[in-house]
Structure formats: structure tokens, C-alpha cells
Structure 1
């Protein structure tokens, strides 16, 4: 579904992503693990088209999208949930979801499907996004993305600042979407338990390069995680 070849990008003249290559199959969940400053968020922004590629290629569902604008990638089914959620705080939950549908050229009918998958949102549809808890805002950010009917979602640090019970709920939501709708996910995260429970494969990123792969069930092993990433499993 996603084929990334020797991808390079950065900010102005500062290179950050230095020749990243990886593939993601249909209905696969791929985790990308690394310390802060290793290029994880920059990689996702490049894949979604918010940053221009300076080298390499990105193919999505067989289409070369390396130079395509973000809205074209969204229409093809590439979704993005950014770090910090970036919902519209002054809009209601429902209107945030409408914005997600409109960005993909879809009508309000898709919203009912998303509410069925995320029933926590049903009693708060009229509430402003800015007054929600951090966990509710993260679920809303996911809902807004799902209203575009994505085939693949790029998730950037979805557990940041969220209580454990909501983290478990997000895991259950994503696994259900994978089973029922064959959703595909590329997940950037530093919460090792979250990434372990969701990922089919975990790629290691260091200084803008994919340097290896670690089996998800090995993320409990402090010594192995430290060897690959320099992070503690606990």
C-alpha cells in the first residue's frame, strides 16, 4: 500500500530525513520507534505532503505522490493525525468531524459510521473541542481523520498526555478498525507498550535513517531495546 524509497527531506537547508526506505502492506500496522529529534515527525510530515521531499519517492496505492499536495493525498486515502491533535478548539465535536469529511470531499453521511466506531463521542457531539479532556481530544482527532475514509493513517505520538484508560480504549478502537475495515497504520510513538500491542513490525529510526527492525514482542526486553534504540522498556 505504501512504498517509500530513499526518501529525503528537511527544513530549509537542514537535512533531517536521510534516505528512508520501507514498505507497508495492506492492513498492516507498522511502528516507528526512536528518541526525540531522530526525524519521526518530520518523516510523517513528508509522507503526508506537509514538507516537500528533497529526494527519493513515495508511492501510495500504486500512485506516485512524491510531489503531490496534501489534499490530493487525502483524497487518495492517506490520513494523518498530528502530534498535539490540532483539532479546532472553537468548533463542536460534530463540526470538527464535518471538517474532516469535507477535506476529503465527503458528506455528513460518513459521520454516522465514525460515531458507531467511536461511541464515546456520541454524547459530546455539541461540546466545543477546546473543553474536552486530552484523551477525548485525541479520540476526536482520530475521528476527524476517519471521516475522510482513509485507507492508511499516519499517527504521530497519539498517547502523549493521555491517561492509561484512554490509551487502552484507543488501542481497542484501532484493532477493531483493522479487523473490520482493513485499516492500515504507520505509528510513531515512544510508549513502548502501546507500540508493542498494536504493531505487526517495529522499525527503528536514528538520525533520519531507518537502522533496523525489532519484533514487537521483544519490546519488553530492556537490553534488546537499549541495544537497538537506547531506550528503556520500563
Structure 2
């Protein structure tokens, strides 16, 4: 599905990512973990074309993305939920969802399955996005990314600032989406237990590089935590 080979990424003249190799196979959930500031978000932004990446290859279903602008990458099937969610606070929940359809030309989609996964979204359709709690906004952001039926869903810190009960609901929804639809998912997380519980494989990032790649069921949590806590 997604393959990254030899990727570098820069902010200005500063190289942030160094020779990244990462794959998200069809139908799998892949976690990318690490402490703050090591390059996890930059990796997702590079995949979306939001950060300059002068070297390396990014392919989706065999098609090279490097020269394509962000809107084309979205139309090719990448759903992206950024850190902070980026919902539109003055728009209603229904209007936020409709924006998610822009990547497929505004073509109407049946939201029934989304409402089953995220009942709160249907309940609050007339409510403004800014009036929702953080957990409700996260559910709306994921639903908005899913409504156009992407091939790949990228989630940046979906548990950040959310109460434990809602984290469980979001984890259940992610697992259900993956199992029912075979959607490939790239999950960036600091909450290690959440990431390992959901993911088939785990990549660990430190100082802009991938330093460890393991199957989640074989992961040594103590080894990973050393990178999560390192200064």
C-alpha cells in the first residue's frame, strides 16, 4: 500500500528526517512511536506533501507521490487526521463532514456506517464543531477523513488530550474499521500501550531516524520505552 524509501525532509535548511524506510502493507495497522520532536509528525506531513522532502521515494499502491501536490495525494486515497484535529469550529458537525467529501468531488456518501462507529457524530450534526469536547472533535475528525473512503488513513496522536473512556472508544473504532474494510492505517502515537494493542507492526523513531522495527506481538516494551524517554 504505502512504501517510503530513503526519505529525507527539511524545514528550511534543516534536515529533520534522515533516510527513512517505512511500509504500510495492505490491510495492516502500523504504528510510528517516539517522544516529542523526533520527526513523527514531519513524516506524516511529508507523505501528504506538506513538508519539503528533497530525497527518497513515497509510493501509494505503486504510484509515486513525490511530485504531486497535497490535494492530489488526498484524491489518490490518503485520509489524514492531523495533530490537533483541525476541525472547523464555526461550522456544524454536518458541514465539517461535507468538507471531507471534497476530495471525491463532493459526491454524496452513505454515512450510516460512520454513525455506527461514532454515534456522537450523528447525535450532534447540527452543533458547531467548536462546541464539542476534545474527544468528540477527534471522533468527528476521524469520521470526516473516512467519509470519502480512503485507501490509507493516517492518524497523528489521536489520544492526545482525551479522557481514557473516549480513548477506548476510538481504539475500538479504529480496530473495527480495519477489520471490516481492510483499510490500511498509519498511526502516530506516544501512548505506547494503545499503539501496540492496535498495531500489527511498530516503528520506533529517534532523532529523525527509524531506530527499531518490530512486530507488535514481539515488541520489547522496555526497549521501546528507552527511546520514548531518552533525552
The TM-score bracket by the shorter chain reads: over 0.9
* Corresponding residue number in structure 2 for 1:80: 80
Alpha-carbon deviation of 1:71? 0.9
What is the Cα deviation at residue 219 of structure 1? 5.9
SS, match of residue 66 in structure 1: coil
| Partner Cα separation in structure 2 for residue 57 and residue 138 of structure 1 | 30
CA deviations on 1:108-140 (whole Å, 9 max, x unpaired) are 334344224322211100000001000000000
* DSSP 3-state at the match of 2:170: helix
- CA deviations on 1:35-83 (whole Å, 9 max, x unpaired) are 1110000110000111121110100011111111111111111110000
Any gaps of 5 or more consecutive residues in structure 1? none
Q: How far apart, in 2, do the equivalents of 1:220 and 1:137 lie?
A: 33
Structure with more contact order per residue of length (Cα contacts < 8 Å, sep ≥ 6): 2
Contact 2:28/2:184, CA 8 A, preserved across alignment: yes
Judged with a 3 Å threshold, the aligned counterparts in structure 2 of structure 1 residues 105 and 116 are, in CA distance, closer, same or farther, namely farther
Partner residue in 2 for 1:126: 126
Q: Say if 1:19 and 1:110 are closer, same or farther in 2 by CA, change over 3 A.
A: farther
Q: Are 2:78 and 2:150, in contact at CA under 8 Å, matched by a contact in 1?
A: yes
Q: Give the aligned partner of residue 224 of structure 2.
A: 225
Distance in 1 (CA, whole Å) between partners of 2:86 and 2:177 is 22
Q: CA separation in 1, counterparts of 2:154 and 2:54?
A: 20
Mapping of 1:45-194 within 5 angstroms? 45-194=45-194
* Equivalent residue, structure 2, for 1:34: 34
Q: Kindly tell me the number of residue pairs found equivalent between the two proteins.
A: 230
Q: Is the 8 A contact 1:52 1:67 kept in 2?
A: no
RMSD: 1.6
Normalising by the residue count of structure 1, what TM-score does the alignment of the two structures yield? 0.93
Q: Matched residues in 2 for 1:158 and 1:230: separation?
A: 17
State the shift of 1:231 in Å: 3.2
Kindly indicate whether the alpha-carbon contact (under 8 Å) linking 1:71 and 1:104 is maintained by their aligned counterparts in 2: no
Q: Classify the secondary structure of the residue corresponding to 1:38.
A: coil
> TM-score if structure 2 supplies the norm length?
0.94
Q: What is the rounded CA distance, in whole Å, between the counterparts of 1:218 and 1:230 in structure 2?
A: 18
Q: Distance in 1 between matches of 2:109 and 2:155?
A: 24
For residues 129 and 220 of structure 1, the distance between their equivalents in structure 2, rounded to whole angstroms, comes to 40
User: Cα 1:25–1:181, aligned 2, differ >3 Å: closer, same or farther?
Assistant: same
Superposed CA deviations along residues 4-49 of structure 1, whole A, max 9, x for unmatched, are 0101111111110111011111011110111111000011000011
